[in-house]
Amino acid sequence: MSNNNYTVHLHPKGNSIEIDGETDLLTALREEGVYIKSSCGGYASCSDCLVKILEGEDNINSPSFEETQMIGNVFHITKERLACQVKVEGEVKVDLSRHDESADAKKLTKKNNRFNKSKAPVKKRSRAEVDEILSERKMKSEEKEKKRNSWEKHWEKEKDGIKRGTGGGKRPKPFRTDHLDDDPDFKKKS
């Protein structure tokens, strides 16, 4: 258990927070009241809490398996990590510019408005209409059941004067073997 506190400088805001080596960056930022978007609650399954490490990439833990599965292994190129998976082990400078609370709230409001507009109005039916629909469905179900039962042992039933199960009443064709007389491999086998 680490007793050391490390400083994390937050880029666009210009302030900094103290964090211990055991708490992940997402939790520490939320405890300090800093907005950071996250849908999964810190389980590395949404990639919303993506942050860019500007300085001190040697002072954070290496990416976990879950993080690598989510965003790939290009940290050394993009310097982007999931805040829910980052544990700080020294002084770090983090860019939080992609986490704008007002812009996210506007997007959510716009999305909700579109959803509400797209919803079809609910059609209310009277009890008589519901009973009629249910009786129609029951009749259709009974008809299907009759058809299903009528196929029971259908191969034994006669239809159009042809007894089923005899190849349609046709005489079986004999096997053709005349082409085998010219085959030298067949002659060797027999």
Residue predicted with more confidence, 164 or 140: 140
Residue 41 is assigned to a structural domain of this protein: yes
Task: Say what the pLDDT of residue 100 is.
Answer: 87
Residue 124 is assigned to a structural domain of this protein: no
Of 85, 28, 35, the C-alpha closest to 62 is 85
Encode pLDDT of 69-124 as tens digits: 888 888 888 999 999 999 999 999 999 988 888 898 998 888 888 877 766 677 88
Residue 112 is assigned to a structural domain of this protein: no
* 149, β-bridge pairs: none
Which domain covers residue 23, as residue numbers? 5-102
- Read off the CATH number of the domain in which 58 is found: 3.10.20.30
Whether the per-residue pLDDT at 142 is higher than 80: the answer is yes
Task: Say what the pLDDT of residue 156 is.
Answer: 61
Whether the per-residue pLDDT at 64 is higher than 60: the answer is yes
Residue predicted with more confidence, 5 or 116: 5
Residues 6 or more apart whose Cβ sits within 8 Å of residue 185: none
Residue 81 is assigned to a structural domain of this protein: yes
Of 63, 101, 99, 95, the C-alpha closest to 82 is 63
Residue 155 is assigned to a structural domain of this protein: no
Encode pLDDT of 12-45 as tens digits: 888 899 998 889 999 999 999 999 999 888 888 8
Range 175-180 average pLDDT: 76
Split into its structural domains, the chain has a count of 1
Supply the DSSP symbol for 22.
Answer: S
